[in-house]
Each structure stands twice: as C-alpha cells, then as structure tokens.
Amino acid sequence: MAKYFDVHPVNPQRRSIGQVVDLLHADGLIAYPTDSCFALGCQLGNRAGIDRIRTIRQLNDKHHFTLVCQDFSQLGQFVHVDNRVFRAIKASTPGSYTFILPATKEVPRRLLHPKKKTVGVRIPDHVVTQALLAELGEPLLSSTLLLPDQEEPLTQGWEIKERLEDSVDAVIDSGECGTEPTTVIDFSLDEPEIVRRGAGDTSLFE
C-alpha cells in the first residue's frame, strides 16, 4: 500500500522528505511532483524499481529514462558536456527541459539507449523536488507518470494514490501539478534536435 505524503509546496517538511528518502534507500518507487508534471522515481541502482516503472508505463528497452539532478555539477558526473552544450544547458536550467547526452561510466549500462549510449538528464525548478534531491544526495532515476491508457499525465496526488496504490511505495502531494511534460533536446548529435516540444521554451535551441 502506497504511503501518502502531503508536503508543503514552499516549505517542505523535513520529516516527510526524510521518510520518502528512507523509502528510496530501501529500493522503493515513488510518485512525485516536478515543475512539468508528476514523475515516477527510484534510486539509480534500483533494478526492481526500473522494472516496475517499465511495467507501470509499458515501456520497451528503447525508452530514455531521465536522471533528475539537483544541480549542474551533479549532472556533469553522469553525462559528457562539451563547451557548446554547457552554455546552452546552463542558460536554461533549472527548468522544464530534459537533455539527451552521451553518458559517462557512472550510468549503469541498462539505463542507456541501446545503440546511442545516451541518457536523459534534467535539473527541475521545483521546491519539493529540490528538497528531495538534496536529502537523497544523488539523482533520481525518473520517468514521466503517463499511464498507458491516458493521453495526459495525472495531476492530482490523491488520484495517483488511488490508481497506483499497489504499484508504488509512496506518493508526494504538494498541490496540483502541471500536465505538460518537459521539452526534450537531443544534444548527442552534431546539431541539437528537439525531440519533444513540452513545457520548456524551445526558442533557445532553434
């Protein structure tokens, strides 16, 4: 049964955040809000958590998981960022963007795109997510909480708990979340490619 955490959107309760992180350390899977929409998240090394995300969303092995990072220095541990890319990402973070980049050896092979050896990374502009990442001390392996039978992500914490009661270990609710996923930019090519237009402004990359 999923635990439900009602977290203040501006001043997240440290006790609640700590309890969620304890669940993550125990190989738990959570549903949590971001600056774009709700996401599913687990620790980087949580194999069972990755499988559970694939099952919930009915994903194949070509799906790009996202490493949700606290800041730019943490992001730089997991992807290769050249000077051109550095300036573009620095100018647009934190924000509602996911960047696809070549992964470093810190990223488990099973998380990489099978051919391109890339992974998605992002730095969210969301108080509760940032508090969670600060307490966890490492990125959250994440995927947008978009269910197979839904055209748009769920936006209400209570509804997510009802739908995923037996599929996740915790739901964090900090008020209504947006419905638009991040804008996805692929920087693994010679020129940046907009893979998905979403919540983030694409004019910076066109």
| DSSP result, 97-119 | EEEEEEB-TTS-GGGS-TTT-EE
pTM equals 0.94
In angstroms, the Cα distances linking 199 to 23, 95, 116 are 29, 9, 25
Q: What is the dihedral of CA 12, 14, 16, 21, to 10 degrees?
A: 110
Q: What is the CATH number of the domain that holds 57?
A: 3.90.870.10
Best CA proximity match to 7, nearest among 182, 170, 181, 178: 170
pLDDT at position 205: 84
Please give the torsion angle defined by the CA atoms of residues 20, 26, 31 and 37, in that order, rounded to the nearest 10 degrees: 80
User: What does the pLDDT read at residue 3?
Assistant: 97
Cα–chain-centroid distance for residue 135? 16
pLDDT value, residue 155: 84
Structural domains in the chain (count)? 1
The 10s digit of each residue's pLDDT in 169-195 is 999 999 878 888 899 999 998 889 999
> Which of the residues in the chain have pLDDT under 70?
none
Which pLDDT score is estimated for 115? 84
Kindly state the DSSP code that residue 175 receives in the 8-state scheme: S
pLDDT at residue number 170: 98
The Cα angle at residue 175 between residues 32 and 25, in degrees rounded to 5: 25
Which domain covers residue 117, as residue numbers?
Answer: 3-205
